[in-house]
Amino acid sequence: MNSETIVNLIKDWRGALLLVLVIGSLVGIYLAPPNPEKGLEGNLQFGLDLEGGSWLQMEFQSVVVTYSTSGSVEDLIDNLQTDLETDVTQIDADHLEIRKGVSRAELEPIFAASDASIVAYQKGVSQPTADDVKRILNEKVNALGMQDARINLLTPTGSEYPQYVRIELAGVDMATAQEIVGKQGMFEIRIQTTGNATEHVIYGDQITSVGVPQKDPRNQDWSVAFSLTDAGAQAFQKAAIEHGAVNNPESHFLVMLLDNETVYSAPLNQKLAAELRSGPVRSLSASTGLGDAGLEDAMELEIHLRAGALPVDVEVVGSGSVPAALGEQFKTVVLLAGVLALLAVGVMVYLRYREPTIVIPMLAVNVSEIIILLGIARFIQQLDLASIAGLIAVVGTGIDQLVIITDEVLHEGRVPSPSLYMKRYARALGIIAASVATVVIAMFPLALMDLSTLRGFAIITILGAMVGILVTRPAYGKIIMAILSK
């Protein structure tokens, strides 16, 4: 192609879109921000398969029970909490979450004594509890500056309740991974005395329970309720009286710290100050504000009040690690496999057409598609072995579709008229669109499921199919038209 043809292709919206996306992807990978230390890797995120690291799979020590009762649900919950010494929460009218790994045989006598019976029994936790666990683990990982982490909830087939959580930490050894999961932070509540000075009141071990964020129906404020031990409530009352907070609450802030970092600060409530004058108060509530911002702050405060502890115990049932040296070796092998796949495809296409002016644009469009996919993955997806397999699959299916377009528009090796070309090109795109729809429908369930070994493959495959039908196939159609017209 001469320079005039190239200019015309760039001016066409299909060629211009392809060029802009390729340049934007390269900027995202290498220049936003610049990362010269990683060389060709740029800003791409690699999973532990290629980076090295550790993974833990943990089982929730909790069960969900479907029940029926002729008595009081409150009495049933109280009996369960007393006999099992654990938290019990009501999911809905027919389901209880018992946050302890107990068998059905252990539960039946307690239910029978409360005029209730067990209808169904499943291991696992409710979805809100599972979401809390994932949120707390994310908070821990982010607080330590570990961005290359993947946390997935796993639900066994036939169950509606998550039973496992899997955490993958690229570049982290096994001992550190276990410490991240099990470590609780140092939580402290202090009270403002004079000026900016504060005085210690209680530590996190004096907090007995933490509620979920609730919205006040009167003023629409979000808040988090929590309870103190008797000793904690007495220490809180003593500090409030001693420093004058009960008389002038607006001038005395309560400051909450996690690992010496302030996570909440607000003046003492007038109503609470009045209650503290007459005696200790065990049940407290921290207000975080209105709207989505207030809800987000309340959710974070709930985690901090728990001092990073998970709402339900977990037991490690599986673990593994990939040494960093082995991860680097995998990267080399994967890169070699990708290059060989591209070369093999190029050879087969050349043997079919015997025409470099067709083969080179095909490979160039295929490479540009991979660059665009990597540019998107840089923001949304870690690259593990499954994702790389998806990229290699995109190379093969992409060339297949370009061959369909080329074969359709050629007739016995001759160039068709422009009107006939457009008809055949439209027919080829129709065939490809049906193929893309099939791929997306087949991969979509895998992309939504928390199966970490397959999800990356599904996401990359779907993205490849969409980028192909929306960007690279139309661009190739314009390019091959220009080539055939010569």
Q: Is the pLDDT of residue 48 over 90?
A: no
Task: Find the largest Cα–Cα distance for the chain.
Answer: 98
User: Which tokens sit at 87?
Assistant: 């938290």
Give the least confident one: 21-30, 346-355, 410-419: 410-419
User: What fold is seen in the domain 3-51+323-484?
Assistant: Multidrug efflux transporter AcrB transmembrane fold (1.20.1640)
Q: Yes or no: say if 226 and 218 are a contact pair by the CB < 8 Å rule.
A: no
Please state, in angstroms and rounded to a whole number, the distance separating the CA atoms of residues 248 and 131: 40
- What is the sign of the dihedral through the CA atoms of 260, 261, 263 and 265? positive
Task: Name, of 49-63, 162-176, 318-332, 466-480, the range with top average pLDDT.
Answer: 466-480
**pLDDT value at 242 more than 90:** no
In whole angstroms, what is the distance from residue 62 CA to residue 84 CA? 12
For the residues of 181-208, what is the DSSP string, one character each?
HHPPP-EEEEEE-STT-EEEEEEGGGEE
Residue 43 in tokens: 């800003």
Give the C-alpha separation, 359 to 346, whole Å.
7
- The lowest-confidence range among 57-71, 239-253, 328-342, 443-457 is 443-457
CA–CA distance, 267 with 282 (Å, rounded to integer): 18
CA dist., res. 380 & res. 388, Å (int): 14
The enclosing H or E element of 209 equals: strand 207-210
* Euclidean distance between CA atoms 141 and 275, whole angstroms: 39
Of residues 285 and 470, more confidently modeled: 470
Closest by Cα among 325, 287, 465, 482 to 391: 465
Domain boundaries, the chain: 3-51+323-484, 60-126, 187-285
Same fold, 3-51+323-484 and 60-126: no
What is the gyration radius of the CA atoms in the chain, in angstroms? Answer: 30
- Please name the residue that has the structure tokens 């999911």: 91
Q: What topology does CATH give the domain 60-126?
A: Alpha-Beta Plaits (3.30.70)
